[in-house]
Amino acid sequence: MSPRKRATWSDESLRAAVDDARSGRLSTYKASAQYGVPRRTIRNHLKCCILHKSLGRNVIFTKEQEKNFVCRIIKFSDIGIHLTPKMIRIQAFAFCEKFNIDNNFNKKTGLAGKGWLQLFLKRNPSLAKRRAQFKKSSINKRKNTKKERKLPKKPTNKRRNRRLNQNQLKIWNSGTVLLVKRRGLQI
């Protein structure tokens, strides 16, 4: 069996069918039979008022927006930020939010879909092969931040005693009254 032929109708027949259905001269069933355009297609074009022929889903980015987004990703990799697939998905969502682009991304997680990412990388094969330019320096930065995060050592008895001797006036107990003698003070 040969594959099914899709969208064999033309833009002119679509426009004529939608105009006749919108004006009420023909129902969507009759317009479909007369012009050879599927009834659901006529109905969908009546709802959204777009009168050009297209197959599949609507794209999220226009070609110009996609070029800008690719440049943005390349700038990140030139700076030395290692872009993982999840990072690209986050950036795509942020790009849409910044420029008020209608999208079907997950607003709860703030991520673009995995399918969108696969198709995006397929359209832009040069991105899939790119890596961060300054990867070694970014790894060193991460190592330095890990060193800073280490907790200080627990104080030894000598250090604890020294600290207590220096701060004698700051020691108190809320349950009992404690008077600390200081030089030159008479109690």
Please count the residues of the chain.
187
Q: How far apart are CA 105 and CA 91, in angstroms?
A: 12
- Quote the pLDDT of residue 3: 76
Using alpha carbons, list the distances in angstroms from residue 127 to 66, 89, 117, 159.
Answer: 12, 14, 11, 55
State in words which class domain 11-48 has.
Answer: mainly alpha
- Quote the pLDDT of residue 131: 53
How high is the mean pLDDT of the chain? 76
Strand intervals (E) in the chain: none
Q: Does 179 have pLDDT greater than 50?
A: no
**Plot region of 83 (φ>0 → left; ψ -120 to 50 → alpha; else → beta):** beta
Q: Does 58 have pLDDT greater than 50?
A: yes
Residue spans per domain, the chain: 11-48, 63-129
Mean pLDDT over residues 38-61, rounded? 77
Mean pLDDT over residues 5-34, rounded? 87
Q: Assign 180 a pLDDT band (cuts: 50, 70, 90).
A: very low
Residue 5 is encoded by which pair of tokens?
Answer: 């032929």
- Quote the pLDDT of residue 44: 84
Mean pLDDT over residues 173-182, rounded? 49
pLDDT in tens, 95-146: 999 988 888 888 899 999 999 999 999 988 888 665 545 555 555 555 555 5
